Structure 1
Amino acid sequence: MKKIIFGLLLALFILPVKANEGMWFLMHIERLNYVDMQKMGLQLTPEEIYSVNNSSLKDAIVQFGGGCTAEIISDKGLVLTNHHCGYGAIAELSTAENDYLNNGFWAQNHEEEMKPESLSVRFFVRMDDVSKRILGQVNDEMTEDEREAAINKEIAKIQKENDEGGKYTVSVKSFYNGNEFYYFVYEDYNDVRLVGTPPKSIGKFGGDTDNWEWPRHTGDFALFRVYADQDGNPAEYSEDNVPLNPKHHLPTSIKGFKENDFAMILGYPGRTNRWMPSGGIEQNVEYAYPAWVEASRTSMDVMEKYMSEDAQVNLDYASSYAGIANYWKNRQGMIDALKQHKTAKSKRKAERKFKRWAKKNEDGKYKNVMSVINDYYDNTNEISRHNNYMSIMLRSKLATIPYRVGQTMEYYAEQNEAKQAELMPRIKTQVTRLYDGLHMPLEKDLLAAQLHLYSEKAENIAPMVKEIADENGNTIEAWTTYINQSIDNSIFKSEKEVNEFLDNPDAEVLAKDPLYLLSNDLLKRYRYKSDEQKAWDDKFKRAYRLMVKGMRLQNPDKKYYPDANSTLRLTYGKVISLPEDETNDAKYNYYTTLKGTVAKYQPGDDEFDMPKKLIELYENKDFGQYADEDGYLPVNFLTDNDITGGNSGSPVLNGNGELIGLAFDGNIEAMAGDVIFDDELQRTISVDIRYVLFLIDKYAGATHIIDELTLVK
């Protein structure tokens, strides 16, 4: 009897993945997850979730704009995603006279739907495992460069074999740090148009203050539409294009849900590092993330000054600012959470177990893995700090435009007149795009502030930056003066000056341009690696790959899922509360209501202002068919799904595959989730689909959109 009990305990130990943990491949659901999902409330078959030959849920999930998720919710190609995912497109279409970002927009028909300059959605067609094929091309005697070259050669073959003559985009990706490989086939649609968006005071209600916090009261959604040619194929924008008739669209449930109801999310999570060892966590907490936070705050301070003074500047920089602000708070939350949960300590404990296993393992190649990894982090701590300061600085357009345009101009200046005439239209188009919306006073102050911070805080800085700081004094005033003088003497000070150079190119003038020299210096330093660092990198890559392989061999019966890398995944769990919060207006702490939204209302405040009509609808309790059975209007809710950045806009589905919400955030308490999953605190914050429909119907009066949906009552 004792032996049986010990066996049960051992089984529990080696299968520690909780029901709600994991970002799973759809093709593995039947083998790894289906029984658990059925027990929790799933009513669909695996074939209804993922099928290559028949329509399934995966056909309604798209990657939106390259960095978010969206879903198809009608048979006319209607796309639902987060307001913050569509933020850049909405801002691009806005002007000071027609400010859709701040005032909202609702197309009354297809003709009024607006096309942003560049926006696409990507449909997932199929995937397959090519691990044996690719790993059959490499061996342990290869250097990392040789290994990478052999893998890339085979990847090129796989892509060509599966793209059907260019019809599809094929991506082969590495998983488990180079221990497995899968290919993914996609179909891209580039004609995507804005259908509707609430005003920012709804779509971004709570602003940076509420970001990553619970309770939330945000209507974070926007609507777009996919267009295709007359045969339903991808096509560039044309007035002749028609709304796409998709293979599958999600039915929309207004039945509501209760705590502990099943919930699953399909989407494109961007990046997790669940295998990251203790040394990497400590490097992030002590070196990389603090630099990111400080540099981001520096950029935000400069941008806020100019954005508050000019409505057009505010629109032009709205998307850039939102992206910086989001990750500024994220990185600070990561620092706090990783320290609070002592994540590095728990990782070290697992690493000690691994080292004991490695010593006993017959294959001696795992024995020194952890020491190589720890040495790498010890040797690259300051490099990581430097690179994070620089990576934020290089978001400044003035830091990168001279290099990006100048490299092309350098080649252009060397060509004969015929070749220059051929190149000029393309270069001028590039220049117009890069300078569009650029506010030079803001850019000058931004670059000066970042250069001051970088030269003051980082080690082994770019040579030209060090020389300037030493000669002029490393103060913000000195940097401001230097940048102003450089712009005055630069051909990059305006689009007009660049175009004048193209009309009369002079390679010597370009070679002496102060902004071109500075931009080149920054980019060259950012990409530079010493021979010593390259050697560390090679040893580290091999050791990390062996660590992951060894840890999986150490516990062979555990159910594993790969780190997120912007490929389609499914996560499942349930609707669930956090510990009670006295600031929440709801009866239970797994949802919020419009009452709580109105309670946060602060007239004129940039983050907590509200449209008067929304307040009137609340006061009149004019909720239509979207009120909960208890009479309140739901706004946001919580589940314990395992998501990360890139899942923004992902559909939250009930056991029947019906849309109940739209994921848009996580909670600050579980900010360490990209590195280690917290079963108790990990939460996904979503917009209740009933609030979305209420805003479309009762607030915007866009009933024609409601009529387009498949409602489940």
Structure 2
Amino acid sequence: MISFRSLISLILLSLFIYSCSATEQLAVPEPVSVAAEAPVTLFLFPEYEPVEAGRFDNGRMWTFEYPPADYFRTTYSFEPDKEWFNHAMLSSVRLPNCSGSFVSPNGLVMTNHHCAREQISQVSREGEQLLDEGFYAERYEEERVIEGYYVDQLLEVRDVTDRILSVVDAAPESERMQVRQAAVNELQEELQSEMDESVEGVVQVVSLYNGARYSAYFYRRYSDVRMVMAPELQIGYFGGDTDNFTYPRYNLDMTFLRVYDGDEPLETAWYFPFSDTGVEEGDAVFMIGNPGSTSRQETVTQLSYRALFSDYYRYQLIRRVAEALQSFSDIEPEAAEEMDLRNFIFSLRNAEKLYGGQILALQDPHLMGRRTDHEMQFRSELTRGSELAERYLPVLERIDEIQHLKTEYAVGYYPSLGISPNSYFSSATLQRALYAALYVSEIQNGADPADLGGYLMQIRMIEDKPLKLEEYLLTQRLHLFADAFGAGHHLTEELLQGRTPEEQAARIINHSSFVNSESTALLLELYEELPDLEDPAFELAAMIAPIVMDAQQNYGSLMMEEVELMSEAGRAWYEVYGTAIPPDATFSLRISDGKVSSYEYNGTVAPAYTTFYGLYDRTFSHVGEPEWALPERWLTPPAGLDLSTPVNFVSTNDIIGGNSGSPVVNVNLEVVGLAFDSNIEGMGSSDFILDDRSARAVSADVRGMLEALIHVYQAHRLVQEIRGSR
């Protein structure tokens, strides 16, 4: 799971009402283009009948600075004191892209396999394919250093709201964004100087409730991290993209790392021991991790804009780039492996499925009806006080107005996403040509070439890509622009010149001087002749550049205003609800409560947990299908492997991208699971609402993890360490 976001017409919306059910997954409707030369001044966003909002529609991602001790006490009948929350905080860690936890006093860290895929590939030596083969270090000396990697442990949280807001409120409205960022940077530097210089520390000032509150997070950073154990990709990602975001599941999505301090395994008193007994249906469980981002404080109009524009375009971009990279990988597998495209494609397919489901959920009448009801309640609360209404209701109205204004620039803005130097989202040829076109445009508008060296430097920085990959990427980019402008639009005709995107891309790559750095360097030596250059890539870029620049400037201006308005709306939110509702996710440490729970799906009931019996049934039900093929050591169940052992389970915990790798613990702070996914019912909606009717977090069960470590991997040293930590 993890994170990217997209134009669907109001006409199609009135004809097709999609719900985020398992039977209608990702049936994303085609867009109707908005003509670029006919600006939209009022876009008719859909209206939804209110549906009674739930108590936890805005989630249960509680912060540690505002711990819900009373709520936990009354709901789960135990006493979570300050020490309980402190132990939970100090035993958890944040990885660069995921979550994790200490699970032994010797610095052993548990996270997901999919969180460490790149690192598994990174530590592979010549002749090894550890992503496919798996890895296990029998001794400390065999644990492999992961260069450039780190683990952050949160040590302290400090409220710094008054310090930031006093500076922001004193600034003119037009300068508040810059003043806020400057105040945050200054405070971070000041607090950084307070940390012990003998250890590596990081201070991060985090905005909560869109800027109503600010917290300073003090982290201890560990930069000596080593690989201990990782299973094969085929068991860590069993079922592949098809089973991704679904349940029942049968994944051992686990990896073990170790933190070293002074070249010795870290000695720590803060860790989660593994549970002896695991969980049963109905058990209370707590997920502790770093959820990346959510949008639960956005207005209904903002959410509708995303469904019709931003999420749709991002979905199409991700889908088309994934197709381009996969096409190249199919014909050049060795080159693709050297470029580590496999891991990138995995991430793209993950994001594609996520955005597709999100688009559908954002048009679901029940879910959007609940958001409508909550927004009506929120506005009603504001009207109870004249000062609140006078200050904040115009803010909400302007936020909604901006969504209408953004529709004018969406067609030019979104298809150009990802055209940045060295991005795999677009061809190097187009990147170079676009910067050259922008350079020429500046000169034609009177700029001194001596002041434009930045453009030339950016062009020189762009690295070559294989020509076939260039062709595939450019093909998909042309599709994006053609889909956005629409068939028959003059810009589509000018871009394609009567050819298909495939034909036009092949012609450009075969005849452009921007296809490689060497020929581009020769062009740049003659930069004074660039305005008269006859080059198909340059001609394409010259057509796109003014559209892109106009859209980015205008759209960017609206977005900056929207960010500031959302900060004001966040203060309104906090005035009404305080900390009774948790803030949106910020990739900072949260604790989410829930229960192990089965649910109705597909006309039947999804069980609370799955077993190894189901794993083998899935394999033998899909004989010959690569996604369900087991690694060699798994083909015949090893002697002693108890196939009735639970391998995955589901719970009602609140989960989003960034939570991957989060420990799932019981009331005694013992690990019972390792969170790795959401089911399909929660995948699309969890960004903007917690819908726990059937939305579930999916976790690897510690019972299945240990059973596999003992009987399949013979990882006795690791098992002894885990069990000895109880």
Q: TM-score range by the shorter chain?
A: 0.7 to 0.9
- The CA distance in 2 between the partners of 1:484 and 1:583, in whole Å, is 55
| Residue pair 2:429, 2:515 contacting (<8 A) in 1 also | no
Distance 1:355 1:639, change over 3 A: closer
AA matched with 1:267: G
Q: Please name the residue that 2:703 is paired with.
A: 690
| Residue pair 2:57, 2:689 contacting (<8 A) in 1 also | no
Distance 1:393 1:634, change over 3 A: farther
Q: Deviations for 1:666-707, whole angstroms, at most 9, x for unmatched residues?
A: 011122111011132221000001222222221111211112
| Residue pair 2:135, 2:229 contacting (<8 A) in 1 also | yes
Question: Which residue of 583, 592, 607 maps to 2:627?
Answer: 607
Q: CA deviation at 1:595?
A: 0.7
AA matched with 2:231: P
Question: Which residue of 668, 671, 679 maps to 1:659?
Answer: 671
- The CA distance in 2 between the partners of 1:292 and 1:22, in whole Å, is 27
| Residue pair 1:373, 1:540 contacting (<8 A) in 2 also | yes
Q: Does 1:639 align with 2:677?
A: no
Question: Which residue of 181, 201, 211 maps to 1:168?
Answer: 201
Q: Does 1:125 align with 2:155?
A: yes
Alignment of 1:79-228 (within 5 A): 79-94=109-124, 97-139=127-169, 142-144=172-174, 146-164=175-193, 167-228=200-261
Q: Please name the residue that 1:302 is paired with.
A: 324
Q: CA deviation at 1:366?
A: 2.4
| Residue pair 1:44, 1:657 contacting (<8 A) in 2 also | no
Q: Does 1:249 align with 2:249?
A: no
| Residue pair 1:69, 1:268 contacting (<8 A) in 2 also | yes
Q: CA deviation at 1:350?
A: 3.5
AA matched with 2:592: T
Q: Deviations for 1:351-409, whole angstroms, at most 9, x for unmatched residues?
A: 344445545532212232332122111111354465443335654265469969999xx
- The CA distance in 2 between the partners of 1:58 and 1:197, in whole Å, is 25
Distance 1:399 1:600, change over 3 A: same
Distance 1:491 1:539, change over 3 A: closer
Q: Please name the residue that 1:681 is paired with.
A: 694
**Larger CA deviation: 368-377 vs 193-202:** 368-377
| Residue pair 1:79, 1:223 contacting (<8 A) in 2 also | yes
Alignment of 1:509-520 (within 5 A): none
- The CA distance in 1 between the partners of 2:598 and 2:323, in whole Å, is 36
Q: Deviations for 1:323-373, whole angstroms, at most 9, x for unmatched residues?
A: 100010011111222323543333333334444554553221223233212
| Residue pair 1:281, 1:343 contacting (<8 A) in 2 also | no
**Larger CA deviation: 313-322 vs 94-103:** 94-103
Q: CA deviation at 1:19?
A: 11
Q: CA deviation at 1:134?
A: 1.1
Q: Deviations for 1:104-131, whole angstroms, at most 9, x for unmatched residues?
A: 1212223322234432211112111111
| Residue pair 1:251, 1:709 contacting (<8 A) in 2 also | yes
Q: Please name the residue that 2:92 is paired with.
A: 61
Q: CA deviation at 1:470?
A: 5.9
Residue 108 of structure 1: SS of its match in structure 2? coil
| Residue pair 1:14, 1:555 contacting (<8 A) in 2 also | no
Runs of 5+ in structure 1 lacking a partner? 1-12, 51-55, 230-240, 408-426
- The CA distance in 2 between the partners of 1:523 and 1:129, in whole Å, is 45
**Larger CA deviation: 247-256 vs 161-170:** 161-170
| Residue pair 2:428, 2:465 contacting (<8 A) in 1 also | no
AA matched with 1:346: R
Alignment of 1:487-636 (within 5 A): 489-492=514-517, 507-508=525-526, 533=555, 536-537=558-559, 539-555=561-577, 559-579=580-600, 589-601=607-619, 602-617=622-637, 620=639, 622-623=640-641, 632-636=644-648
Residue 288 of structure 2: SS of its match in structure 1? strand
Q: Does 1:279 align with 2:301?
A: yes
Distance 1:520 1:322, change over 3 A: farther
AA matched with 2:353: K
**Larger CA deviation: 449-458 vs 525-534:** 525-534
Q: Deviations for 1:39-81, whole angstroms, at most 9, x for unmatched residues?
A: 415565322322xxxxx232221111x2101112222222211
Q: Please name the residue that 2:424 is paired with.
A: 396
AA matched with 1:549: R
- The CA distance in 2 between the partners of 1:505 and 1:245, in whole Å, is 58
Distance 1:344 1:101, change over 3 A: same
Residue 588 of structure 2: SS of its match in structure 1? coil
Q: CA deviation at 1:518?
A: 8.1
Q: Deviations for 1:145-193, whole angstroms, at most 9, x for unmatched residues?
A: x112332333233212221376421111211112111111112222222
Question: Which residue of 373, 382, 405 maps to 2:399?
Answer: 373
AA matched with 1:160: E
- The CA distance in 2 between the partners of 1:528 and 1:246, in whole Å, is 55
Q: TM-score scaled by structure 2?
A: 0.78
Q: How many residues are treated as equivalent by the alignment?
A: 637
CA RMSD of aligned residues (A): 3.8
Distance 1:118 1:341, change over 3 A: farther
AA matched with 1:218: N
AA matched with 2:678: G
Q: Deviations for 1:485-512, whole angstroms, at most 9, x for unmatched residues?
A: 33x555427xxx89xx6xx997546995
Residue 365 of structure 1: SS of its match in structure 2? helix
**Larger CA deviation: 575-584 vs 697-706:** 575-584
| Residue pair 2:293, 2:585 contacting (<8 A) in 1 also | yes
Q: Deviations for 1:255-311, whole angstroms, at most 9, x for unmatched residues?
A: 122111110011010000111111111112122222222222222222223323454
- The CA distance in 2 between the partners of 1:517 and 1:388, in whole Å, is 21
Percent identity between the two aligned chains: 24
- The CA distance in 2 between the partners of 1:389 and 1:210, in whole Å, is 29
| Residue pair 1:650, 1:663 contacting (<8 A) in 2 also | yes
Residue 307 of structure 2: SS of its match in structure 1? helix
Residue 449 of structure 1: SS of its match in structure 2? helix
- The CA distance in 2 between the partners of 1:355 and 1:35, in whole Å, is 26
- The CA distance in 1 between the partners of 2:481 and 2:58, in whole Å, is 45
Residue 644 of structure 1: SS of its match in structure 2? coil
| Residue pair 1:264, 1:572 contacting (<8 A) in 2 also | yes
Q: CA deviation at 1:448?
A: 1.3
AA matched with 1:46: K
| Residue pair 2:434, 2:545 contacting (<8 A) in 1 also | no
AA matched with 1:107: A
- The CA distance in 1 between the partners of 2:168 and 2:255, in whole Å, is 46
Q: Does 1:290 align with 2:312?
A: yes
Q: TM-score scaled by structure 1?
A: 0.80
| Residue pair 2:597, 2:651 contacting (<8 A) in 1 also | yes
Q: CA deviation at 1:443?
A: 2.6
Question: Which residue of 285, 288, 297 maps to 1:263?
Answer: 285
- The CA distance in 2 between the partners of 1:296 and 1:328, in whole Å, is 6
Q: Please name the residue that 1:9 is paired with.
A: none
- The CA distance in 1 between the partners of 2:57 and 2:392, in whole Å, is 30
| Residue pair 2:433, 2:514 contacting (<8 A) in 1 also | no
| Residue pair 1:651, 1:662 contacting (<8 A) in 2 also | yes
| Residue pair 2:58, 2:582 contacting (<8 A) in 1 also | no
